[in-house]
Chains A and B, each alone.
Chain A
Amino acid sequence: MSAVSKQAPLVEVEDLTVRFTGRDLDIRVVNGVSFTLDRGSSMCVLGESGSGKSVTLRALMRLFPPTATLDGRIRVDGVDVLALGENQLRQIRGGLISMIFQEPMTALDPVFTIGQQIAETLVYHEGISFRAAHARALSLLELVQVPSAKRRLEAYPHELSGGLRQRAMIALALACKPKLLLADEPTTALDATVQIQILLLLRELQHELGMATIFVTHDLGVACEVADKIAVMYAGKFVEAGSAEQIIGAPRHPYTQGLMNSTIHADMRGVKLDPIPGAPPDLTDLPPGCPFAPRCSVAREPCLGLQPELVALEGGQKARCLQYGAAPSFAHAPLLQAS
Chain B
Amino acid sequence: MTGMLKRVYEPALWFAGLLIVWEVLVRAFDVQSFILPAPSVFLVRIFHDFDRLLLQGAITTKLILYGFVAGTIPGVVLGYLIASFRICERLLYPLVVFIQGLPKITLAPLLLVWFGFSDFPKILLTSLITFFPILVDSVAGFKSMDRRHYYLSRSMGASGWQTFWRFQLPSAAPNIFSGLKITIVIAVTVVIVVEWLNSNNGLGHVVLRAMDSHDTPLIFAVLVVASTIGVFLNYGIVVLENVLLPWRRGVEDNA
Q: Are A and B genuine complex partners?
A: no
Binding site for B on A (CB under 8 A): none
Q: Which residues of B contact A (CB under 8 A)?
A: none
